[in-house]
Amino acid sequence: MTLIVLALAIAGVVAWAVAIVHLRGEDLSAFDSPSGERFSSGAEPSAELGAVIASLSGIGTVVGNVPRERRIAALREYIDNAFAERAIDATFRTVDCAGVPGEWVLAPGADGSRRTLYIHGGGFLMGSPKSHRTLTSQFSALTGGAVLAVDYRLMPEHPRMAGIEDCRIAYRWLLEQGPDGPGRARSVFVAGDSAGGNLALSLIAWVRDQGLRTPDAGVALSPLTDSTLASPSLRANLRSDVMLGPLFGPLTKLPGPVLLWIGWIRNRINPRDPTISPVYGDLSNLPPVLVQASEVEMLLDDSRRYVNRARAAGSPVKLQTWNHMVHVWQIFNPELSEARDALAEIGKFLAAVSQESSPGRGAVVAHRAVSAERPAP
């Protein structure tokens, strides 16, 4: 018995050491300073936000009342149908992107040569092009072009790398294929939210390293950038994050080395690998990127650290933060004023990028961005 206890103790020490030495990323506390533009809608949350928060109660119901073995399927169904009754001014076409399923999203008058690859969020476990149509339709209107929403493979049925590879295939395909068939893209953007923001930022760096046609710009909404889960706000904002808190709060109670081992086993990739933790990668020579995050969400410091580190590397990356907001609040448009404001800021950013790369195109995008700021009630 004594030998067994000793062996277990040694194994525990070794596992702990491996986590600290091999799995933990570098100390990024130097990049924690506040930065970027701050937006405020008042000292207290608005009635609009209160209604949004109330609508999220279904997530807690699923987590609390559905047996664990059925929970992922139930959450997928809940998220896919969250906006199912919403009337959206866009057309949707399913498409095969060299073996990867996707959906073209076309706002009225969309130019098929202007293309955005949109990567949905959902913790790598859920979400689809259907669940994010309120966002993809807005990106089509804001850019005046077509949006390709990629339906990448999800965990746990597939390894984390499968979804990454699907996004890479879809990006290559989008460069030469539009909604009306073969044709080279005139402008290209990459965008994503939450887990999709992680995939988008990882993709942008991969595109640079592969020597492919660089996106004109990228947009990441509340992205996960550090899969080692080292950002201070993961715990500091646990209680104020009404969306991620109920879903992932229990994980924050585990010791850091345990979380690192769980991440390594679950993802089959070292948590500090830039493929899944873009904040630890080479952030130089990136295209213009806009990151938006809430000041009360768990992933705030993921955004802050990524932006600060990218700017230190010389890349034109900017951060915009809003107070009070829920995780990826932009999806709640047009009912949430701050969602409309955030989308208008995205429109301004993309218009400026388009104008710099081709002066004749900026006016179209800017007009669409302004119109999106005041949608019909």
Which active-site residues does the annotation give? 194, 297, 327
| Euclidean distance between CA atoms 156 and 152, whole angstroms | 13
Measured at the alpha carbon of residue 53, what is the angle toward residues 331 and 241, in degrees to the nearest 5?
A: 85
Nearest residue to 228 (alpha-carbon basis) of 196, 200, 205, 262: 262
61-78 burial, b at 16+ Cβ within 10 Å, e below that, comes to ebbeeeeeeebbebbbeb
